[in-house]
Amino acid sequence: MSSVKKVVLAYSGGLDTSVILKWLKDEYQCEVVTFTADIGQGEELEPAREKAKKFGVKEIFIDDLREEFVRDFVFPMFRANTIYEGEYLLGTSIARPLIAKRLIEIAKATGADAISHGATGKGNDQVRFELGAYALNPEIKIIAPWREWDLLSREKLLAYAEKNGIPVEMKHKAGGSPYSMDANLLHISYEGRHLEDPAAEPEEDMWRWTVSPEQAPDAAEYIELTYENGDPVALNGQRLSPATMLAELNRLGGKHGIGRLDLVENRYVGMKSRGCYETPGGTIMLRAHRAIESITLDREVAHLKDDLMPRYASLIYNGYWWAPERVALQGLIDNTQASVNGWVRVKLYKGNVIVVGRDSKTDSLFDPTIATFEDDKGAYNQADAGGFIKLNALRLRIAAKRKHR
């Protein structure tokens, strides 16, 4: 263990990472650098700095990564209309490669020879952090305390904290364990407690970002998103930065009860896991992006994207953001987005995002003179369809004749 001289810890200031900070110092006898990322989790981060100082940490990094997170990770993912297993918008998954990247950057800047994280040995995050770290620095050492120590329950963690004078904030109702939560600008997730029973309905007071659809306003709200090269750049005519755009869509979606999800998913490590998610802004973006693509993308390009999307989603979910196959797919996806320009109007109403209009002055492939049900004045010769159908039916006709011999 003494071979590690300095380690960069992904540090939130919560129970797990506070215990890890002390444990690393005791077990590895090494210097610890803390890194706390602001990716829009909505919590005050300065207490993490004060806690780290209390335990003698000399190098403390608290970085505002909100714009980078949305611009370089969330937006590229949404250009692919990415969803995992038909429902999940990958809010936790997409944050991990950014945190891994910054851990490696800080390790290089501070001369650290190792990084550490608080992900458990049962979850996906250990895979995501470590695959990303190895892709960016193949020689880095990684310390995953949950795979080494015997503090494998909340009770043991609390006892360790009490013994070592580690302050613990109890952010849950008396008598119940807290949900395991993860929040960033794209989503907030909930696991644990009675959610471990997939038959149990989530408690209404669990949800933090969204009202229930039943309690949402009775009047619908219309909004308009402007797209450039596949990314939303303006809301109701006002240009916004990527992080501001997502934050405002979260506010609007949450107000109308949009973006709740109750999901049993297949983890990369092999088990099924039940989680609940709130992704209001992402749900709006996904629906609007598909709408603008519907008039700006060639049919076969759109279908190719749909074919590739599940593979792309699995790469992100499983932690392969920095892998060459994801980078190659991203190049193809981004190439398709050069023509995805225009506006989309959606109606927000009681948990629903309803597309009501879309247009592109420069890149629309919708030709009303051909698509019309009225007289098209010869723009489309309906007689051509007979030969088209007959040629496409040729193999079917040949097979049918064989059957009737």
Please report the pLDDT score of residue 2 as a whole number: 58
pLDDT at residue 176, as a whole number: 47
Q: Which of 18, 125, 260, 326 is catalytic?
A: 125
pLDDT digit string (tens) for 194-246?
A: 899 999 999 999 999 999 999 999 999 999 999 999 999 999 999 999 999 99
pLDDT at 155: 85
Amino acid letter, 261: L
Residue 356 CA neighbour count, 13 Å, CB half: 13
| pLDDT in the model for residue 178 | 66
Helix H or strand E encompassing 19: helix 15-28
326 tagged catalytic = no
Tell me, what's the pLDDT at 169?
66
Q: Which residues of the chain have pLDDT under 70?
A: 1-2, 169-178
Q: Are 315 and 321 in contact (CB under 8 A)?
A: yes
Backbone angles phi, psi at 356, to 5 degrees: -120, -5
Q: What is the pLDDT of residue 47?
A: 87
Cα distance between residue 162 and residue 287, in whole Å: 48
Domains of the chain: 6-73+90-163 (3.40.50.620), 180-359 (3.90.1260.10), 369-403 (no CATH)
Specify the pLDDT at position 163: 92
Sequence-distant (≥ 6) Cβ neighbours of residue 246 within 8 angstroms: 40, 70, 74, 185, 186, 281, 282, 285
Decide the pairing of beta strands 114-116 and 141-143: parallel
Residue 16 a catalytic site member: yes
pLDDT score for 1: 47
Query: Among residues 96, 102, 274, 287, which one is catalytic?
Result: 96
Residue among 180, 273, 294, 364 flagged as catalytic: 180
Give the bridge partners for 211, in sequence order. none
Q: Are 160 and 127 in contact (CB under 8 A)?
A: no
Q: Is 96 a catalytic residue?
A: yes
Active-site residue, selected from the candidate residues 12, 16, 66, 231: 16
- Kindly provide the b/e burial profile for residues 114-141, where b requires at least 16 CB atoms within 10 angstroms of the residue's own CB: bbbbbbbeebbbbbbbbbbbebbbeebb
> What's the pLDDT tens digit per position in 41-70?
988 888 889 989 988 999 999 999 999 999
